[in-house]
Structure 1
Amino acid sequence: MRLETRARSGILRTFWNAAKAYFAHDDPLVATANLVALVVLWNQPFYPLYVYWSVGTDIAPTFYTFLSTPFFLAVPAVGRANGRAGRALLPIAGIGNTVLSAEVFGVASGVEMFLLPCVLLGFVLFRPGERIIAIAIAAVGMLAFTVLHGRYGAPVHIYSAEEYAGFLKMNALSAGTLTAFIGLLVMNLINPPAKR
């Protein structure tokens, strides 16, 4: 039993060290993009449970959101090959996931609120000399809302008014928390904590 526990602990430690190495980067902006990607990846498996608790028992449509998982997972690898491309991939994957989710759940779910942290990422992950990339990504996020809002057609599953109210509350809390988390990361980039 102890050997089995030690073996499991060793596997977990090996996995943890590999994950830390994969998401680490010397460039603080790439490291920030990687950390946000990790937070999104960490939350994705729980999304069906969030919907179950906040909305209702019909969680089958949530599995469409896993189509974006490979893109978020690729952010550190792309960032290692090209830091600028890795930083750009994160908000683009977020915009794509948001558009897909709006198509699947409908705009009444409030899922389009996730375009806000995507636009914010478009601005904060790029240096002044890369402003054109930041503006382009932010424009894509804003266009996704202004052009597509109300034009998705019928969602995969139509929820009740009460369920959509739960969806709206859940997505407002989630998008707000993600935006605040990004703000905290940016604050640490601007004013790094003093070393003791």
Structure 2
Amino acid sequence: MTDSLVRTAGTRIVAYAAHDDPNVAACNLIALVVAFNQPLYPLYVYWAVSEHISPTFFTFLPTPFFLAVPAVARRSPTTGCALLPLTGMANTVLSASIMGQASGVEMFLIPCALIAAIFFRPSQRVVALALVLLAALIYLGLDGAYGAPIHIYSADEYNAFFRLNAMSAGMLTVFVGLVASGMLSRQA
């Protein structure tokens, strides 16, 4: 029974992420992977940084927007694809405000910009460039402007936070690259 339930859930998730446009389908997949990984972030912080994880619960606020990407993309593919990096950028700003810049969470702007650069068609280049520019402006414009985080971690904890977020943002960037390369290999 459990196996059948898992298969049914998996089939529904795949159907929800599906789209005729491979770029849109790729954004849908990435959005769902991010959404399904968000509940794990407090556990990663607990294991790698500190037992004080309550600030990480705020990172759940953007989860419905990640989950909504495929639904929005059905109505407007460009808007759906744009919602993914926009939600990622909003989550990054929220997280930097709550946990502090020293946590290194701003590194998540890199996969946001990469998604914008890769998954828009040439006719949508203005949208892609605007999103990439927005990621850069957030990084440069908000530097030092976040204010005090909810909880001040120790220097050692911030070093661990930075390593955790560097690894997480790096792995998300690699995943985005793998999705894009898989898409390209199917087009060849």
**If the length of structure 2 is used for normalisation, what is the TM-score?**
0.96
Post-superposition Cα deviations, 1:95-123, rounded to whole Å, max 9, x if no partner, equal 00000000000000000000011011111
Matched, 1:85 2:79: yes
Alpha-carbon separation, structure 1, partners of 2:139 and 2:148: 17
1:105 aligns to what?
99
Three-state SS of the structure 1 residue aligned to 2:62 is helix
1:53 aligns to what?
47
Post-superposition Cα deviations, 1:9-55, rounded to whole Å, max 9, x if no partner, equal 33333222221211111210011001111110121011110000110
Q: Which residue, 8, 14, 34 being the options, matches 2:8?
A: 14
Q: Give 1:94's aligned amino acid.
A: G
Alpha-carbon separation, structure 1, partners of 2:85 and 2:44: 22
Matched, 1:185 2:185: no
Alpha-carbon separation, structure 2, partners of 1:10 and 1:158: 46
Matched, 1:70 2:64: yes
1:3 aligns to what?
none
Q: Which stretch shifts more, 138-147 or 13-22? A: 13-22
Rg (Cα) greater in structure = 1
Q: How does 1:25-64 map to 2 (within 5 A)?
A: 25-64=19-58
Aligned-pair identity (%) = 54
2:122 aligns to what?
128
Alpha-carbon separation, structure 2, partners of 1:15 and 1:138: 34
Alpha-carbon separation, structure 2, partners of 1:183 and 1:157: 34
CA deviation after TM superposition for structure 1 residue 193, in Å:
8.0
Question: Tell me, which stretches of 5 or more residues in structure 1 are unaligned?
Answer: 1-5
Three-state SS of the structure 2 residue aligned to 1:144 is helix
CA deviation after TM superposition for structure 1 residue 184, in Å:
1.4
Q: Which residue, 148, 154, 158 being the options, matches 1:154?
A: 148
CA deviation after TM superposition for structure 1 residue 186, in Å:
1.4
Alpha-carbon separation, structure 1, partners of 2:177 and 2:43: 26
Alpha-carbon separation, structure 1, partners of 2:128 and 2:11: 32
Alpha-carbon separation, structure 2, partners of 1:12 and 1:114: 30
Alpha-carbon separation, structure 2, partners of 1:17 and 1:116: 31
**If the length of structure 1 is used for normalisation, what is the TM-score?**
0.92
1:142 aligns to what?
136
Three-state SS of the structure 2 residue aligned to 1:99 is helix
